[in-house]
Structure 1
Amino acid sequence: MGRILDRTRESVLEAGISMLLERGPEPGVRHVRLVDAAQRAGYTTGAVYRCWASQDAFQRELAVAASHHHATSVIHNIVLAVRASVEHGAPLAEIIRVAANDNIRAPRSDEGLAALAIRASGGSEEIRAASRLRFLDGIAEHAHCYGTLLRLHGRRVRAPFTIDDFALGLGALGDGFTIQTELRIRHPSVDRDDLPEGVGRDWSMFAVLVEAFVERLTEAVD
């Protein structure tokens, strides 16, 4: 019975996230009704109310699931960009440029989902705890990705900072620019001529700041 309820919960949440992506994040989770998500997922109202006691309980969990969906898709995009650059033997600066530019400029259907959990939490300690856990999971995934990339290029995070601190800082930087994107604030870029061969000239501000972050917080391994 427990596995059936877990599958039901997962399917209905996936349907709810699809509805959020279709409508955009501005209306928020309050416009996604449990009965509509259940119908899309192919479940009856009675079945889904065994998973959630109320509409509010469903919407709070949907907000957390949506934020996790956003974090997971960001990680996926970073990994794809980094992998392609590494396979072509690109220098670290070019990998930073490509990954950061893509993260800022690539059109995304899930922009705005990252803030939903916080907005929906209200006074709920349960939802804040769940959001925090999902956030820390995302930081751990980023840290693993960044740690692998640094090792490939013979670098490590400078003490006393750790790779988790490094990922936390880059995450805060990226989240800040995400908020600006949601507010339709133009992201600046620069055409650089101070780079070695093999590194593109088109740099977003995010890419420039990530490069500075790497230079200041990491060091070559002896």
Structure 2
Amino acid sequence: MGRRTGDETRALLLRVGMQMLLERGVSAGVQHIRLQEVLRRAGLTTGAAYRLWADQNDYQRDLAVAMVRLRLSSPADYARVAVDKLIADGARGDDIIRAAAEAHVRTSAIDVTDPTDAVDAQQFLIALALRTTADTWPELKEASRQRHHESIAAFAEFYAYLMEAYGLRMKTPLMVTDFTEAMAAMGEGFAVRAMEGLEHPVYHAAEDDDVPTGEWTLFALGVRALVNEFMTPIDATARMPFADAPVTPETPIAPAP
């Protein structure tokens, strides 16, 4: 095998650092990833690193940026997987909300059974934690903004798909990106709560409760409220799929053709 170039060595050491972050979890932070330990794991000498970075702080900055830029899947994949079959089966809007919200809550708590999904959830939370410290380095702030814009674009496309399926449009003068920004703020806020170890509230609504019957996460109820305030049926005579009344838990809402 030929001698590694500087770019190849840099990529290797960042890759090893990211693997260590994924192994140790969101609480580790880049400041706990020591360059000497990274070098030992990579089987390289100190000189290999200090030809690329002036010091450990420089390495940790680039490691934070690389971690925020890392994507193991498309941003909206977990939500789409959670609801695609429900939509095809003509499920009610409330069922769509509950399923997508539950998927997000599980991801935030890394309560997933598939090992690949668990790593993806871990990466999301680590990147989110790093984004909360974006002011540390200009490069990290730029990477954080870029990740945010990518996520907003992906979820806006996903929400537009849901709106078309259920015959909805945005209320004027709002746009789907406005809804997506509000959803992102709420979803990321609940993810931060999960990192703090706070349990996500869950409600079991009975038929005589004001909340629609069934099990609801607090996030799902928040999503439902946003949908009702941001969206309206394209057909003015139609009822909202997620309206408080007169739709009942037993009322199926067939997707628009």
Contact 2:134 2:141 in 1 (8 A): no
The match for 1:127 is 140
Deviations 1:71-117 (A, max 9, x none): 95753311211223223332222111011012113442513431213
Higher-Rg structure is 2
The match for 1:190 is 203
Structure 2's unaligned 5+ residue stretches are 111-117, 236-257
The AA in structure 2 aligned to 1:184 is: G
The match for 1:113 is 127
Kindly tell me: are residues 101 and 57 of structure 1, through their superposed partners in 2, closer, same or farther at Cα, counting changes over 3 Å? Answer: same
Separation of aligned partners in 2, 1:71 and 1:175: 18
Contact 1:192 1:201 in 2 (8 A): yes
**Worse-superposed segment, 154-163 or 206-215:** 154-163
Kindly tell me: are residues 98 and 53 of structure 1, through their superposed partners in 2, closer, same or farther at Cα, counting changes over 3 Å? Answer: same
The match for 1:204 is 217
Contact 2:75 2:155 in 1 (8 A): no
Contact 2:152 2:181 in 1 (8 A): yes
The match for 2:192 is 179
Compute the displacement of 1:24 (Å): 1.7
The match for 2:22 is 21
The match for 1:217 is 230
Separation of aligned partners in 2, 1:73 and 1:37: 28
Deviations 1:27-85 (A, max 9, x none): 31012234544665677766666665543233223223333447957533112112232
Does 1:100 find its partner at 2:101? yes
Q: Secondary structure at the match of 2:197?
A: coil
**Worse-superposed segment, 81-90 or 209-218:** 81-90
Compute the displacement of 1:119 (Å): 2.0
Kindly tell me: are residues 84 and 53 of structure 1, through their superposed partners in 2, closer, same or farther at Cα, counting changes over 3 Å? Answer: farther
The match for 2:113 is none
Separation of aligned partners in 2, 1:10 and 1:86: 42
The match for 1:75 is 76
Separation of aligned partners in 2, 1:163 and 1:43: 49
Compute the displacement of 1:20 (Å): 1.0
Separation of aligned partners in 1, 2:12 and 2:96: 36
TM normalised by structure 1 equals 0.79
Match of 1:156 among 169, 178, 184: 169
Separation of aligned partners in 1, 2:8 and 2:160: 34
Kindly tell me: are residues 220 and 58 of structure 1, through their superposed partners in 2, closer, same or farther at Cα, counting changes over 3 Å? Answer: farther
The AA in structure 2 aligned to 1:116 is: L
Write the mapping of 1:42-81 to structure 2, written as runs, cut at 5 A.
52-69=53-70, 75-81=76-82
* Percent identity between the two aligned chains: 36
Q: CA RMSD in A?
A: 3.1
Separation of aligned partners in 2, 1:90 and 1:41: 50
Kindly tell me: are residues 12 and 157 of structure 1, through their superposed partners in 2, closer, same or farther at Cα, counting changes over 3 Å? Answer: farther
Between structures 1 and 2, the one with greater helix share: 1
